Amino acid sequence: MAIQKIDIATFLLLSPNSLVLDVRSPSEYSQARYPGAYSLPLFTDEERRVVGTAYKQESKEKAIKIGLDYFGPKMRAMVEEVETLTRNNTKKILVHCWRGGMRSGGVAWLLDLYGFEVYQLTGGYKAYRNWVLRQLENPYDIKILSGNTGSGKTPLLHELEKSGKQMLDLEALAHHKGSALGGINQAPQPSQEMFENLLAEKLSSKNIEKTILLEDESQRIGNLNIPNVLWQKMKTSELLYLQIPFEERLKYLVEEYGKLPIEDLKNAILRIQKRLGGLETKNAIMHLEEGNLSGCFGILLRYYDKWYEKGLNSKEKGEIIKIEGQSVNVEVNAKKIIERLT
């Protein structure tokens, strides 16, 4: 069966039930990739550099010959690796490189020669990235779930999803909960490009005709930025503002963050020292060392309340719908949100 060249739409259609091979170099793959793609690099980073230099400074023919020197000794191992990956499973194999050129063409030729059913992505990873950027530009019907720190917005989003509502958990994709404490005990954040890829994948699975709920965030989540085109939509979307008493939110924060390592909490507090102020920083750390979590988190919560209100007033927002909540009870608060959405 000859190698079939496919466009990005066909690639996305076939990929859930196929083995996707990313034959770019290890550093390209680690920077960002198609979610679920397996790394089968044709060249190491150094080999890629050598081939690229020869292409630019000498000729295409010279670069190909150097590439073949690298490729030849790897052929058997590559075939056997793919054979292991597809054992007991006659998966289609989708191959891509950066532009859909010689690297994916070479690997596709080898695997086709061996007898695999091979598809090569026209335009490569670059075509996928163009698809990602188009997903971010779609006219989604977005509503923002807002509320001061400690309102339990993230678990509330997941409760609303259980009730059949569409939502997108930006913090889960970013591996960060948004505040100074948000990176503690989280997996390393993805690159900005990978964050956008994950975001686009999630958005593409949503029904564009129905509302998608997002948590109210600043544009920056840890070291990542919400893509500007989506951020602009969020800024002007209708906002569901859940209002929960200070003491209830404080109780929730103590339960949520009180078990985290003290040194990590100290370091997080020190990172916002300039904005928190020297005295409040000193008092927060003193309470933390004494085991007075309510005293410590109370200082942080008042700080975040001030900045949240300031940010809310400065944002260009659509209609703000205020919803009273008595406590951080996701089941009860989800019902209140649903009542306002219907």
Catalytic residue annotation: 97
Give 166's strand partners: 212
Q: How many other β-carbons are positioned within 10 Å of the β-carbon of residue 131?
A: 19
Q: Map the chain to HEC letters.
A: CCCEEECHHHHHHHHHHEEEEECCCHHHHHHCCCCCCEECCCCCHHHHHHHHHHHHHCCHHHHHHHHHHHHHHHHHHHHHHHHHHCCCCCCEEEEECCCCCHHHHHHHHHHHHHCCCEEEECCHHHHHHHHHHHHHCCCCEEEEEEECCCCCHHHHHHHHHHCCCEEECHHHHHCCCCCCCCCCCCCCCCCHHHHHHHHHHHHHCCCCCCEEEEECCCCEECCEECCHHHHHHHHCCEEEEEECCHHHHHHHHHHHHCCCCHHHHHHHHHHCHHHHCHHHHHHHHHHHHCCCHHHHHHHHHHHHHHHHHHHHHHCCCCCEEEEECCCCCHHHHHHHHHHHHC
The strand pair at 224-225 and 166-168 is best described as unpaired
State phi, psi for 24 to the nearest 5 degrees.
-70, 175
Would you tell me the crossing angle of helices 60-71 and 45-57 to the nearest 10 degrees?
A: 160
